[in-house]
């Protein structure tokens, strides 16, 4: 998702799995086993993390070798760790040790088969796919000269152009990079499924779903329940956006009774639509929130944007970032080499060296992304004193939700305080405009966040076979999002692979859940701050009470099942999308009025 959605390069659940372990002494207690695994894991984690960091910042054949070898050792350790951890099932142990063993037995997004050659193959495939994505570019002739553009440049065209054909060309151009690793992805699926069996699961999808402290089938039902809560609102938004795009491009290109062409939504993957806000603005010129222009006019650079994001967190009473963060992070795209620009947060050296990698641009979107990334960093800092195996979000959706929760407090009042807008306009029209811009990001994303892993779960289970990867992808995109490709797509293409999280092998349901939970978190923190009035007007900026409540939850890490962490912050023990409906109540009513004479659906 733009760059708000990120890979945690070495996840906390794998921190304890990035080392080589010898065979356990058969007399070793469960507690001693856990302590040994964590000690060995911390040691080699330093080497593995460094190899991955260098690989993403210097994409060369040499760094590919180093990263693949490091990954191979990590996978070897993981195989041995799982085999040893299984022996403690059903034995007596304290609750803390039992939680650690449980996490070890479910904590991998890419488990390797217990075979040295296959481990090496899996590590090489994962490294190579990610490298190909990071180095991807689309070359075409412009004004008689060949021009090659990387993802950021292509994204900029999709964000700003309103030329139907230019948008279509850029959209398909980026998708020329992914067919090259389609066969590698197929092999990854085979190896990942084989490795999942060592964890006791039929396939990789079932292993991923087991990471939520509930049975896999129960989790599938839970995810569907959350989607059903917000689906009617999404359908209202889709209906209105389609009507406005039809006015802009013509009903021949955007029919009023079908899916929306995917390249017209301002984003390379149609996952967020806020870049087309100028076409959707309900009340022209009312309460303009052109933060990008303000950032540029006021001379913000990458460092000042990052420092400003940090100030939000410290205003809540959370600690300053360590100096090493600014010394070691990459926040500006280098001019002399390829890097993986997909923004990510990294927890290196057991919490002592947190950093981000983000090719920051001076835009409102990237400003928000910085807050998202620092949400990860502050999670790392707050659970730093937990044992290694408990260093992670209560579940992966928690980790993704923190920075986005903070973004919900970037209200017009906050932006005015920071000098990024001139005045706060309080009117119904101003509220509708602001909420439309937010909904084009937050609500438009929900079905995309849901369908990516729906596709992968079907791929892992075999329901979608290798001969229908692309058909299965577009069937789900149309079903969930109501969009369609601008060109005929065949099995020669690999459109799923044009999204980083597929070759990067990052589970995606975490983002869907985070977009639900961030509103739930926001509501709870606003109540703690004593906010009265509409939820969409609340900002917790500067409120130490809300900050302590947030910090206390972050410090729990994944030491307890996620319902305990949820209860600590919100008083609830389940995820709930009702706060979204509360937050967007004004816009939801407005959309229903606009759509009353339209034919919605697709």
DSSP 330: B
78-95 pLDDT, tens per residue? Answer: 888 888 888 888 889 999
DSSP 23: P
C-alpha dihedral over 476, 477, 480, 481, to 10 degrees? -170
Render 74-139 in DSSP notation, one character per residue: HHHHHHHHHHHHHTTTTS---HHHHHHHHHHTT--SSPPPS-HHHHHHHHHHHHHHHHHHHT-EEE
- 3-class secondary-structure state, position 287: coil
Residue-level pLDDT at 82: 80
**Contact present, 239 and 205 (Cβ < 8 Å):** no
Phi-psi domain of 265 (left: phi exceeds 0; alpha: psi -120 through 50; beta: other): alpha
Q: pLDDT value at position 143? A: 84
Q: How much is the pLDDT for 399?
A: 95
**Look-up of token digits 């990510």:** 344
pLDDT at 11: 37
Q: What pTM does this model have? A: 0.88
Query: What local confidence, expressed as pLDDT, does residue 107 receive?
Result: 67
Low-confidence ranges of the chain (pLDDT < 70): 1-26, 107
- For the record, the structure tokens of 185 come out as 């992805």
* Predicted pLDDT at 26: 52
Q: What is the chain's length?
A: 602
Contact between 522 and 438 under an 8 Å Cβ cutoff? The reply is no
Output the six-digit token pair for 594: 């606009």
pLDDT of amino acid 104: 85
C-alpha–C-alpha distance, residues 321 and 99, integer Å: 30
Residue with tokens 């917000």: 230
Looking at residue 402, its pLDDT comes to: 96
Give yes or no for a contact between 102 and 93, defined as CB atoms under 8 angstroms apart: no
3-state secondary structure of 347: strand
**pLDDT value at position 16?**
35
* Residue 473, C-beta contacts closer than 8 angstroms, at least 6 positions apart: 455, 495, 496
* Residue 139 phi, psi (nearest 5): -105, 130
Which of the residues are catalytic? 342-343, 372-373, 376, 400, 501, 511
Name the helix (H) or strand (E) containing 334. none
With residue 13 as reference, give the H or E element that holds it.
helix 12-15
Helix (H, G, I), strand (E, B) or coil at 259: coil
Gap between the Cα atoms of 370 and 491, Å rounded:
37
Tokens of 389: 């195996």
CA 305/CA 331 separation, integer angstroms: 10
Which pLDDT does position 444 carry in this prediction?
98
Task: Kindly provide the b/e burial profile for residues 131-156, where b requires at least 16 CB atoms within 10 angstroms of the residue's own CB.
Answer: bbbbebbbeeeeeeeeeebbbeebbe
pLDDT of residue 4: 32
The predicted pLDDT at position 3 comes to 34
R_g (Cα) of the chain, nearest Å: 23
pLDDT value, residue 492:
97
């Amino acid at each position: 998702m733009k760059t708000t959605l990120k890979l945690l390069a070495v996840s906390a659940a794998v921190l304890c799995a990035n080392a080589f372990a010898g065979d356990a002494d058969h007399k070793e207690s469960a507690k001693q086993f856990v302590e040994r695994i964590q000690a060995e894991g911390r040691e080699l984690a330093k080497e593995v993390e460094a190899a991955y960091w260098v690989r993403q910042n210097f994409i060369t054949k040499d760094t590919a070798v180093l990263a693949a070898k490091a990954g191979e050792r990590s996978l070897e350790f993981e195989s041995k760790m799982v085999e040893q951890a299984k022996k403690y099932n059903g034995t007596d142990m304290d609750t803390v040790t039992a939680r650690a063993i449980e996490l070890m037995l479910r904590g991998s997004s890419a488990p390797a088969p217990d075979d040295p050659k296959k481990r090496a193959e899996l590590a090489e495939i994962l490294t190579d796919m990610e490298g190909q994505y990071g180095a991807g570019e689309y070359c075409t002739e412009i004004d008689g000269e060949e021009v090659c553009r990387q993802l950021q440049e292509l994204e900029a065209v999709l964000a700003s152009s309103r030329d139907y054909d230019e948008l279509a060309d850029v959209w398909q151009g980026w998708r020329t990079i992914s067919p090259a690793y389609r066969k590698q992805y197929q092999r990854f699926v085979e190896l990942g499924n084989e490795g999942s069996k060592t964890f006791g699961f039929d396939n990789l999808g079932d292993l991923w779903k087991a990471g939520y402290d509930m049975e896999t089938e129960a989790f599938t039902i839970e995810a569907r329940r959350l989607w059903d809560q917000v689906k009617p609102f999404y359908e209202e938004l889709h209906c209105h956006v389609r009507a406005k795009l039809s006015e802009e491009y013509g009903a021949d290109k955007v029919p009023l009774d079908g899916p929306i062409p995917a390249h017209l939504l301002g984003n390379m993957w149609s996952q967020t639509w806020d870049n087309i806000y100028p076409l959707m603005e309900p009340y022209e010129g009312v309460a303009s929130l052109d933060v990008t222009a303000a950032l540029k006019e006021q001379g913000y650079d990458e460092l000042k944007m990052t420092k400003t994001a940090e100030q939000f967190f410290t205003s809540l009473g959370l600690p300053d970032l360590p100096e090493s963060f600014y010394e070691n992070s990459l926040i500006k795209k280098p001019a002399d080499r390829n890097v993986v620009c997909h923004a990510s947060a990294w927890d290196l050296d057991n919490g002592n060296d947190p950093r981000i990698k983000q090719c920051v641009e001076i835009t409102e979107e990237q400003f928000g992304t910085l807050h998202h990334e620092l949400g990860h960093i502050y999670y790392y800092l707050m659970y730093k004193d937990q044992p290694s195996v408990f260093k992670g979000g209560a579940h992966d959706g928690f980790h993704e939700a923190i920075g986005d929760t903070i973004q919900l407090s970037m209200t017009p009042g906050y932006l005015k305080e920071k000098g990024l807008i001139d005045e706060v306009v309080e009117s119904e029209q101003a509220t509708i405009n602001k909420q439309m811009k937010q909904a084009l990001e937050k609500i438009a994303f929900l079905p995309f966040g849901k369908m990516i892993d729906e596709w992968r779960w079907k791929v892992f289970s075999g329901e979608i076979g290798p001969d229908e990867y692309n058909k299965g992808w577009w069937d789900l995109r149309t079903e969930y999002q109501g969009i369609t490709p601008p060109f005929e797509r065949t099995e020669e293409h690999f459109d799923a692979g044009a999204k980083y999280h597929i070759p990067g092998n990052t589970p995606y349901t975490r983002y869907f859940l985070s977009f639900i939970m961030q509103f739930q978190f926001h509501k709870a923190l606003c109540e703690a701050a004593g906010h009265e009035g509409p939820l969409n007007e609340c900002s917790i900026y500067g409120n130490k009470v809300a900050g302590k409540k947030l910090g206390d939850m972050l410090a729990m890490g994944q030491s307890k099942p996620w319902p305990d962490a949820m209860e600590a912050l919100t008083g609830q023990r389940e995820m709930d999308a009702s706060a979204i409906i509360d937050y967007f109540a004004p816009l939801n009513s407005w959309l229903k009025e606009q759509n009353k004479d339209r034919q919605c659906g697709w």
